[in-house]
């Protein structure tokens, strides 16, 4: 058994399930739930008790997924990201999509969620703008997750997808 690739792959999959699972929870469940809760005045519980915990696991799972993926690529990391080797074209696309998604989490979603949840001070105007940016970044990641997962699978089973 080759320990580093084996453990990296396992961690990559587990952290990836947590990251994308929480992304789907936000998009498929929470957006509609928060809207309904705001309408009947019960949104405070979600904002106070659910979102901070979900976002904690979400953003750190994204980091662990990316780092484990980088460890899994190992010495082929550069080849995959700059498409130097045909064998790494598919995983290269998946890796780029995952990297853009990680950027969205830490640069667009989390800083704006901090304003929305009141973790940092913001005016109502800033909160409204933050809500739109975080929403669109989250939806972009949901859309990107579809080809990202396709190319992650294709990277490991190229003949099946591109044979």
Q: Which stretch binds another protein (CB under 8 A): 59-67, 88-96, 104-112, 116-124?
A: 88-96
Q: Which stretch binds another protein (CB under 8 A): 53-61, 67-75, 104-112, 136-144?
A: 136-144
Give the one residue of 147, 152, 153, 156 binding another protein; rule: CB under 8 A.
147
**Which positions from 30 to 69 touch another protein by CB under 8 A, shown as an x/- string?**
----------------------------------------
DSSP string, 147-162: HHHHHHHHHH-HHHHH
Q: Does 21 bind another protein (CB under 8 A)?
A: no
Residue 136 touches another protein, criterion: CB under 8 A: yes
Q: Does 81 bind another protein (CB under 8 A)?
A: no
Please choose, from the candidates 45, 58, 69, the residue with its C-alpha nearest in 3D space to the C-alpha of residue 19.
58
Q: Is 160 in the site for another protein (CB under 8 A)?
A: no
Report how far residue 88's alpha carbon sits from residue 97's, in angstroms, rounded to the nearest whole number: 14
* Residue 97 to residue 146: CA distance in whole angstroms: 10
Whichever of 58 and 89 has its CB closer to another protein, that residue is 89
d(CA 58, CA 21) in angstroms, rounded, equals 9
Count of positions on this chain that bind another protein (CB under 8 A): 21
Rounded CA separation 73/80 (Å): 8
Q: Which residues contact 28 (CB under 8 A, 6 or more apart)?
A: none
Tell the smallest beta-carbon distance from residue 97 to another protein (Å): 8
User: Interior CA angle at 124 toward 123 and 129, to 5°?
Assistant: 100
How buried is residue 142: exposed, middle or buried, by Cβ count under 10 Å (0-12/13-18/19+)?
middle
**Residues forming the site for another protein (CB under 8 A):** 27-28, 86, 89-90, 93, 136, 139-140, 142-147, 150-151, 154, 161-163
């Amino acid at each position: 058994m080759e320990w580093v690739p084996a453990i990296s792959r396992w961690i990559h999959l587990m952290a990836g399930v947590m990251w994308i699972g929480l992304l789907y929870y936000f998009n498929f469940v929470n957006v509609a739930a928060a809207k309904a809760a705001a309408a009947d005045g019960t949104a405070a519980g979600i904002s106070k008790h659910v979102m901070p915990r979900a976002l904690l696991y979400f953003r750190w799972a994204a980091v662990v997924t990316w780092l484990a993926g980088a460890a899994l690529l190992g010495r082929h990391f550069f080849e995959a990201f700059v498409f130097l080797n045909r064998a790494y074209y598919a995983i290269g696309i998946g890796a780029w999509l995952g990297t853009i998604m990680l950027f969205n989490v830490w640069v667009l979603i989390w800083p704006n969620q901090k304003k929305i949840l009141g973790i940092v001070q913001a005016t109502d105007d800033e909160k409204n703008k933050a809500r739109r940016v975080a929403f669109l970044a989250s939806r972009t990641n949901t859309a990107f997750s579809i080809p990202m997962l396709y190319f992650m699978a294709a990277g490991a089973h190229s003949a099946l997808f591109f044979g």
